[in-house]
């Protein structure tokens, strides 16, 4: 009996080779099984969805990719198609300049918009990506003035004088801060800047232009701007200006000073409760009634101001949500370090609040950029107005889908790029490492 027991092995004396997992438990097969065919109901939904997608694509793909790209009119397109149901992309090939630059922008000056767009990419690169050389921030600071000069033209002395006004504000605040409190020094700085911009600066520009104009360009009126160019001008200006204004409004709404808080709350609630189209009509029609007869206020500038104010109200609420999401311990930690209010906001509170608010901030930016199409209703010839103008032409009267699909694709590319960047930034700033 003992000999028999000794021949029984209770411990394996050699290892088995590793076997691959079943095909149905890994990779795409597993994902399809768990997400598309996990039960009878999901299986039915999957099959119905496949049928709907197939039906749509089977009609859209031949229409889109079987279209005509070379024709001078809709009638010629139809002759080439000979009754086939396909797109007439020739309208894009023929009128893309009108969609991008507008109807009235002079063709000889297209290069200025190209240079402005390239400089825009260079200017925002160091702001969006930390690996870009910091020296390019000089281009970021100079871009607003260069953009105005490139788009509207005239002598470069004008933008330089406006830039000099900010230097006047800085040095006035610095000098006044040595002898007065922060509140009074800020007031002195603002007054000094206004005096320079509206009184002294124009005299300097007039004198210098009469002596030696600096790189003069052909002047472009706002009514000549249009298409994608005007959408970019209004959108980028509104995005760049609404974020800092929204931060100030959010801090003002959480302020302990009753007057500051009441003013910020009133501003935010008023502009959030008024449709943007109403503000645009106000900028277009009513604002001139409140200005002196001799004062001319450019329509594009008025629209940028109204769009910025409207977006700032929404931005303030997004940032206030980020501030409210911070635990109280962060504020207490700033106090324990002996930081004053502005140091705490700059070094501890605001960076964390902005990180939390990234999705809401980008969502507001996307909404602002798409809302630039509303300027069509106040007589600014954006891409929608260009499409209407093209359709009103006898050569392309009757065409619809191709124009609006192309314009929609342009907006989608811009908005999708902003969305992807926000997702990348969220992943880059993650600190939980889960």
pLDDT tens digits, 54-63? 999 998 898 8
Consecutive H or E run containing 208: helix 201-211
Residue 379: what pLDDT?
A: 83
DSSP per-residue string spanning 1-65: -HHHHHT---S-SSPPPPPPPPGGGSHHHHHHHHHTSSSHHHHHHHHHHHHHHHHHHHHHHHHHH
Residue 37: what pLDDT?
A: 84
Tell me: pLDDT of 114 over 70.
yes
- Residue 93 resides in a domain: no
- Residue 406 resides in a domain: no
189-201 mean pLDDT: 87
Residue 337: what pLDDT?
A: 83
Tell me: pLDDT of 420 over 90.
yes
334-341 mean pLDDT: 82
- Residue 375 resides in a domain: yes
Provide CB contacts within 8 A for 156, sequence distance 6+: 149, 214, 215, 216
CA 342 to chain centre: 27
- Residue 320 resides in a domain: yes
Tell me: pLDDT of 188 over 90.
no
- Residue 8 resides in a domain: no
Percent of the chain surpassing pLDDT 90: 34
What is the Cα–Cα distance from 357 to 351, expressed in whole angstroms? 10
Are 261 and 252 in contact, with CB atoms under 8 Å apart? yes
Are 320 and 364 in contact, with CB atoms under 8 Å apart? no
Tell me: pLDDT of 9 over 80.
no
Q: What angle is formed at CA 240 by the lines to CA 405 and CA 142, rounded to 5 degrees? A: 115
Which range (33-37, 163-167, 186-190, 291-295) has the least confidence? 291-295
Residue 292: what pLDDT?
A: 65
pLDDT averaged over every residue in the chain: 86
Q: What is the 3-state secondary structure (H, E, C) of 370-403?
A: HHHHHHHHHCCECHHHHHHHHHHCCCCCCCCHHH
Residue 104: what pLDDT?
A: 87
Q: What is the DSSP letter of 82?
A: T
- Residue 13 resides in a domain: no
Q: Which phi and psi angles does 417 have, rounded to 5°?
A: -65, -45
Residue 6: what pLDDT?
A: 55
Instruction: List the CATH number of the domain containing 264.
Output: 1.10.3720.10
Tell me: pLDDT of 183 over 80.
no
The residue range of the domain holding 371 is 225-394
Residue 237: what pLDDT?
A: 92
Which range (16-30, 120-134, 254-268, 295-309) has the least confidence? 16-30
- Residue 207 resides in a domain: no
Q: What is the pLDDT of residues 342-399, one digit of tens each?
A: 788 888 888 888 888 899 999 999 999 999 999 988 888 889 989 999 988 888 888 8
Residue 54: what pLDDT?
A: 93
Are 349 and 326 in contact, with CB atoms under 8 Å apart? yes
In this prediction, residue 294 has a pLDDT band, given cuts at 50, 70 and 90, of: low
Residue 370: what pLDDT?
A: 92
In this prediction, residue 48 has a pLDDT band, given cuts at 50, 70 and 90, of: very high
Tell me: pLDDT of 405 over 90.
yes
160-173 mean pLDDT: 88
Domain count, the chain: 1
Q: Select the more confidently predicted residue: 109 or 185.
A: 109
- Residue 129 resides in a domain: no
Residue 429: what pLDDT?
A: 83
């Amino acid at each position: 009996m003992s000999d028999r027991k000794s021949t029984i092995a209770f411990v394996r004396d050699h290892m088995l080779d590793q076997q691959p997992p079943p095909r149905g438990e890994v990779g795409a097969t597993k994902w399809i099984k768990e997400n598309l065919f996990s039960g009878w109901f999901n299986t039915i939904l999957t099959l119905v969805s496949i049928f709907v997608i197939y039906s749509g694509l089977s009609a859209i793909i031949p229409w889109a990719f079987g279209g005509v790209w070379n024709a001078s009119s809709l009638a010629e397109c139809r002759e080439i198609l000979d009754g086939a149901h396909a797109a007439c992309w020739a309208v894009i090939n023929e009128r893309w300049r009108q969609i991008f630059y507008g109807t009235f922008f002079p063709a000889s000056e297209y290069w200025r918009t190209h240079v402005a767009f390239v400089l825009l990419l260079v200017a925002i690169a160091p702001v969006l990506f930390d690996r870009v050389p910091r020296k390019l921030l000089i281009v970021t600071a100079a871009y607003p003035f260069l953009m105005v000069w490139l788009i509207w033209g005239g002598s470069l002395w004008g933008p330089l004088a406006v830039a000099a006004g900010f230097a006047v504000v800085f040095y006035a605040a610095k000098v006044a801060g040595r002898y007065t409190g922060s509140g009074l020094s800020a007031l002195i700085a603002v007054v000094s800047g206004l005096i320079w911009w509206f009184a002294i600066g124009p005299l300097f520009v007039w004198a210098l232009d009469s002596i030696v104009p600096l790189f003069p360009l052909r002047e472009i009126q706002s009514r000549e701007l249009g298409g994608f160019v005007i959408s970019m001008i209004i959108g980028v200006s509104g995005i760049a200006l609404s974020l800092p204004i929204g931060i100030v409004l959010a801090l003002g709404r959480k302020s302990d000073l009753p007057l500051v808080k009441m003013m910020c709350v009133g501003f935010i609630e008023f502009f959030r409760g008024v449709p943007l189209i109403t503000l645009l009509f106000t900028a277009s029609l009513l604002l001139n009634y409140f200005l002196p007869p001799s004062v001319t206020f450019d329509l594009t500038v008025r629209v940028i101001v109204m769009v910025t104010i409207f977006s700032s109200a929404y931005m303030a609420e997004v940032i206030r949500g980020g501030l409210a999401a911070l635990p109280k311990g962060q504020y207490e930690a700033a106090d324990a370090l002996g930081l004053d209010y502005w140091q705490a906001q700059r070094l501890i509170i605001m960076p964390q609040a902005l990180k939390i608010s990234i999705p809401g901030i980008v969502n507001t930016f996307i909404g602002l950029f798409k809302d630039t199409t509303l300027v069509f209703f106040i007589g600014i010839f954006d891409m929608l107005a260009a499409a209407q103008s093209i359709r009103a032409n006898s050569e392309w009267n009757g065409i619809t889908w191709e124009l609006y699909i192309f314009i929609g694709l342009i907006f989608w590319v811009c908005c999708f790029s902003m969305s992807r960047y926000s997702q990348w930034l969220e992943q880059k700033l993650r600190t939980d490492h889960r």
